[in-house]
Amino acid sequence: MAQVNTVKPAQAAAPRPAARRHLSDRRIVQLFIFPTIILLILMNIFPLIYSLFLSFNEYSVISADAPRWIGIENYADILSDAQFWHNFGVTGTYALISVALQTVVGFGLAMLLRTKFTGSGVVTTLILVPMMLSPIVVATFWKLILNPSYGIFNYVFGFLTLLVPTIIGVIVVALLWGTLPKLLGEQRANIGRIALLILIPVVAHLVWRFVLSQEGTYGDFFTRVTYRETAPEWLGEPALAMWAIIIVDVWMWSPFVMLLCLAGLSAIPEYLYEAAAIDRAGGWFQFRRITLPQVMPLLLIAVLFRTIEAFKQFDLVMGLTGGGPGDVTETVSVQLYQLAFQGQFDTGKSSALAYIVLVVIIAVSNLYIRALNRAREG
Amino acid sequence: MATTYSPSSPVNYSTRVDKVGRGQRISVTIRAIIAVLIAVLMLVPVIWMGMTAFKSRPEAVAAPPIVFFNPTLEGFISLLTERRQLSAAEQAVMQARTDLDYPNQIALLRGQTIIGTSAFPRQLLNSLIIAGASTFFSVGFGVLAAYAFSRFDIPGKDDLLFFILSQRMLPAVVVTIPIFLMYKEVGLYDTHFGMILLYTSFNLSFSVWLLKGFIDEIPKEYEEAALVDGYTRLQAFRKIVLPQAITGIAATTVFSLIFSWNEYAFALMLTSDVARTAPPSIPLVLGTGGIEWAAIAAGSLAFLIPVVIITFVLRKHLLRGVTFGAIRKG
């Protein structure tokens, strides 16, 4: 918004204060904030108080009985229930692994897209598309993609697994590219580069071949992953279901971490790197002492936000597995939904569970909003 | 950040000059290629869904998956219509007819005839109505509150803002249980008005924060000049602040639209038929006999395309949007 709005002179606009009822500033503030506050009290505060009350009662919305006060029995029930601790563990594991992977992948993507190239804006936006999509729709079409007989995930997965050495090789080459002259001297740098380009992928490939050949033959691997009888059934196998959800979550939300990291990276003043280069600081040193600390505040915001969202995770799990197979992917949110809206409609107990979740979320969001406020001021 | 060692050999290269050197150019090219590959890889699921939407039923579930296929609108037709299986005799009669329209011809290929529209168009319309109305109110109230928070000293302002944002952090399922009871009691369950009310309050905290960031950026001096010129506070707000904040209002509007458009948990638990929106229905699109992936993909595609377009339109504001206006530029 660079354009300057010129204020029209009084006679042109001809405002007639006398003709209008003159509102005092205080009155305006009240009028302006009023709708927001009322709505939030009506739709958030009142329901929360109501459910706090219900959490101390035995009550079901589908029965005719009035709520019956039972004290802390609901809470005691939940906290002594092994199912709750199992689900809590599932939620925690999921949040931890998922957020950690998103942080690594998102940060890596940001480092990759940091230097501008032709079309980098479009590429960045394309990578950001998944996070804007509806989680439930995402879950639905990932279900098709993860299907062991007609999904494409196993093919892409098998192919990428075979490509791992090449990918690692390319990354190593890219990382060493700039530092080579310092290591080998300017003259021998090009020979070093060519050697790297050939050597690293070949060595990595041979090692990989050895690793994959430990169970069956190397050539078999792709077939094993894609052949219908042996293909991993991501959503149906207890050992894989959680990973499937994590993969989809990482696919969807790494771009979010990337977006915040990119903002942090672009705000780092160039002179810090110049000063470091003058002091002959190496690439790793620059990364550890300049890049990382400078990006940290925004990375922290991203991680906290993702942690909150991961604890709330409902849509993806419902869409992908519905908590199954068995209860291996049953997060607390899914348990809450089942308790409140399925079977017995145990409203009292589910309110108590909701309050337990609430306490956890509030604790994390507190940290989050504080970090946000610091970023706002900084 | 001072390094403790002193250079043992003279510095025979310069960091800044190498930014234009050949090595640097190649490194940028490699990065660009990797980035493009990753972007393509990340979009494979979306592209695959788009392709599935145009596949015929057997092609959609072919094993191994088919990449090259004959595009057909069968998926969209199964999504939008209710069909009935025809008996062999009826099929013969239908095949003899030449006046069939395109959807009926497609249905006939599967031995079916169209008997009406499905619930999906209505659900999409519900999504549109609910998202549109709730966005209108949340941005409307939001701009008022944001202006007040931005320009005036309000006692306990920080606490209030904190409180407003914390509403956004609550898990949907937690809020839904009491709202479900409340709505049952007052008859708002499964109504458009109930959903609009809920989404409005849900988006309000977001829009207040985002808009406050935008309004904070408009210099106070403009309004002060206007007040000196004899405008009332309200006139200054309407004629000075609103036009200046139009970009912010537009961005907030679009974000709110996307949020309500994508919302699943509330819609799943608080609607059943009349006001049901598209997100809870898409996974449940069922054809005659089993899951019809082409139809589901067609529904997803119809649902996602607006969001993809909007993402591109909004790309300058995405960062602000996802951080509640706290972080302004990258």
The correct answer on CATH 1.10.357.10 for the domain covering A63-148+234-378 is: no
Residue-level pLDDT at B286: 61
Report the C-alpha gap between A55 and A364 in whole angstroms.
22
Residues of chain A contacting residue B12, judged by C-beta atoms under 8 Å apart:
186
Contact state of A36 with B142 under an 8 Å Cβ cutoff: yes
Q: What is the pLDDT confidence band of residue A251, given thresholds at 50, 70 and 90?
A: very high
Using pLDDT thresholds of 50, 70 and 90, give the confidence band for residue A3.
very low
For residue range A103-120, list pLDDT tens digits in order: 999 999 998 888 888 888
pLDDT one-digit tens code per residue, B222-247: 988 998 988 888 888 999 899 999 98
Structural tokens at position A2: 């660079």
Spatial distance between the Cα atoms of A150 and B149, rounded to a whole number of angstroms = 54
B217–A140 C-beta distance less than 8 A:
no
Which of chain A's residues have a Cβ under 8 Å away from the Cβ of B308?
129, 132-133
B32 has pLDDT over 90: no
Q: In chain A, whose CA is at the least distance from the CA of B27?
A: A174
Q: Within chain A, what is the greatest distance between any pair of CA atoms?
A: 90
Q: Which of A261, A298, A304 is nearest to A99 (CA)?
A: A304
pLDDT > 70 fraction of chain B, expressed in percent and rounded = 90
Determine, for residues A15 and B230 on separate chains, whether the beta-carbon distance falls below 8 Å. yes
3-state secondary structure of A129: helix
Contact list in A for residue B296 (CB cut-off 8 A) is 140-141, 144
* Contact assignment for B262 to A133 by CB distance below 8 Å: yes
Q: How many CB atoms lie within 10 A of CB A4?
A: 9
State the number of CA atoms in the 13 A half-sphere of B180 facing the CB: 26
Task: Indicate whether A2 pLDDT > 70.
Answer: no
Q: How confident is the model at residue B2 (pLDDT cuts 50, 70, 90)?
A: very low
- Among the partner residues A7, A47, A228, nearest to B229 by beta-carbon distance: A7
Task: Flag if B31 and A189 touch (Cβ within 8 Å).
Answer: no
- pLDDT above 60: residue A9: no
Write the DSSP string, A168-221: HHHHHHHHHHTTHHHHH-TTTHHHHHHHHHHHHHHHHHHHHHHHHTTSS-HHHH
A365 and B166 within 8 Å at the Cβ level: the answer is yes
Contact B315/A121, CB-based, under 8 Å?
A: yes
Name which residue leads in pLDDT, A338 or A7.
Answer: A338
Q: For residue A114, what is the enclosing H or E element?
A: none
Is the bond leading into B65 cis (omega within 30 degrees of zero)? no
ipTM score = 0.84
DSSP state for residue A14 in the 8-state scheme: -
Closest alpha carbon to B233 in A18, A17, A35 = A17
Q: Which of B12, B17, B40, B323 should one mutate to test binding to chain A, selecting the residue with the greatest count of A CBs within 10 A?
A: B323
Gap from B316 CA to chain A (nearest CA, Å): 9
Interchain CB distance below 8 Å, A36 and B145: yes
DSSP string for residues in B263-277: --HHHHHH-SSTT--
Tell me which long-range contacts B64-72 makes (C-beta under 8 A, separation of at least 24).
B64/A150, B64/A155, B64/A226, B65/A150, B65/A151, B65/A152, B65/A155, B72/B106
Share of chain A above pLDDT 90, in %: 18
Contact B252, A32 (CB under 8 A): no
Smallest Cβ–Cβ distance between B173 and the set A5, A142, A354 belongs to A354
Least confident of A46-55, A199-208, B20-29, B58-67: B20-29
In a 13 Å sphere around the CA of B247, the CA atoms on its Cβ side amount to: 16
CB contact under 8 A, B296 and A141: yes
C-alpha–C-alpha distance, residues A150 and A161, integer Å = 19
Which residues of chain A are in CATH 1.10.3720.10 domains? 63-148+234-378
Residue A62 has pLDDT above 90, yes or no: no
Length of chain B: 330
Q: How confident is the model at residue B196 (pLDDT cuts 50, 70, 90)?
A: very high
Beta carbons of A350 and B326 less than 8 Å apart: no
pLDDT at A252: 94
pLDDT surpassing 50 at residue B330: no
Helices (H), chain B: 22-53, 57-60, 74-80, 88-96, 102-109, 120-151, 157-169, 172-186, 192-216, 220-228, 233-236, 242-244, 246-262, 265-270, 278-281, 293-313, 318-322
Which chain A residue has its CA at the smallest distance from B282's CA?
Answer: A137
Nearest to B48 among A42, A47, A152 (CB): A152
* CB < 8 Å to A341, chain B: 180, 269
Nearest residue of A to residue B218, measured between CA atoms: A1
Chain B residue with the nearest C-alpha to that of A34: B145
Say yes or no to pLDDT of A326 above 80.
Answer: yes
**pLDDT tops 70 at residue A13:** no
For the entire predicted model, the pTM comes to 0.84
Contact B145 A5 (CB under 8 A): no
Note whether B146 and B207 are within 8 A (CB).
yes
Contacts of B179 in chain A (CB under 8 A): 43, 47
Mean pLDDT within A68-76: 87
Would you state the pLDDT for residue A187?
A: 72
